[in-house]
Chain A
Amino acid sequence: ETGVTQTPRHLVMGMTNKKSLKCEQHLGHNAMYWYKQSAKKPLELMFVYSLEERVENNSVPSRFSPECPNSSHLFLHLHTLQPEDSALYLCASSQGRGPRLNTIYFGEGSWLTVV
């Protein structure tokens, strides 16, 4: 138990569906992240939120829409995805950002399959 909880653990969706991934952290952290992990590729940083403000958006397609209603919750809204979006989506949190000794804590991930 890392203190970062992701739901659902597995999701199968059609290309026309709308679904959401949810992440909740119980660590009192100020920064939250979405990463995408595909086979044979490095973890891709998708979004970073610091104090509920989006501070990073690494050219992610608009079919992925993040939402951070408060510092403990992070959502990833999915709409009209493509089969190549099938991957493990990892949520993470850290105490903060910037020049400090941050350790990043990951959830167990949400396996997404787009059919």
Chain B
Amino acid sequence: SQQGEEDPQALSIQEGENATMNCSYKTSINNLQWYRQNSGRGLVHLILIRSNEREKHSGRLRVTLDTSKKSSSLLITASRAADTASYFCATDAFGQFYFGTGTSLTVIP
């Protein structure tokens, strides 16, 4: 299976702290993407990192990719209460998108 596995399953932090969540996957990928899902809503694309990239930034988001370990991490800096959501990694293996179970992030005001 290409599924990504996010870790931890749940994370609770204080507003202003950084949040780090990890994703591991099983086989070679074309790229890896992170998505966010607010409760009961659809998923929203956050950031894409190509298989030949090691790090990428977008605003308060920093994503790393280690293809030798088949893992990725998402760092959200200076978290806000509005960042409370579930975060999913998705592996793209030539057009097949596979998602994990997600990390549920709660940011306490």
The reply on A76 being an interface residue by CB < 8 A is: no
A6, A43, A56 interface centre (most CB from chain B within 10 Å): A43
* CB 8 Å contact bits of A27-68 with B (1 = contact, 0 = none): 000010101000011110100101000001000000000000
Is A97's CB under 8 angstroms from B95's CB?
Answer: yes
A42 to chain B: closest CB distance in Å? 5
- A100 CA to B98 CA, complexed, in Å: 15
- Which 8 A-B pairs rank lowest in CB-CB distance, beginning with the nearest? A97-B95, A106-B42, A43-B99, A106-B43, A108-B42, A98-B95, A99-B94, A103-B45
Task: Given contact pairs A33-B97, A109-B42, enumerate 13 new A-B contacts (beta carbons under 8 Å).
Answer: A4-B42, A6-B42, A35-B99, A48-B96, A94-B97, A98-B94, A98-B95, A101-B31, A101-B48, A105-B45, A106-B42, A109-B41, A111-B40
Contacts from B to A (Cβ < 8 Å)? 3, 30-31, 33, 35, 40-45, 48, 50, 88, 90, 92, 94-101
Interface of B is mostly: strand
Is A56's CB under 8 angstroms from B90's CB?
Answer: no
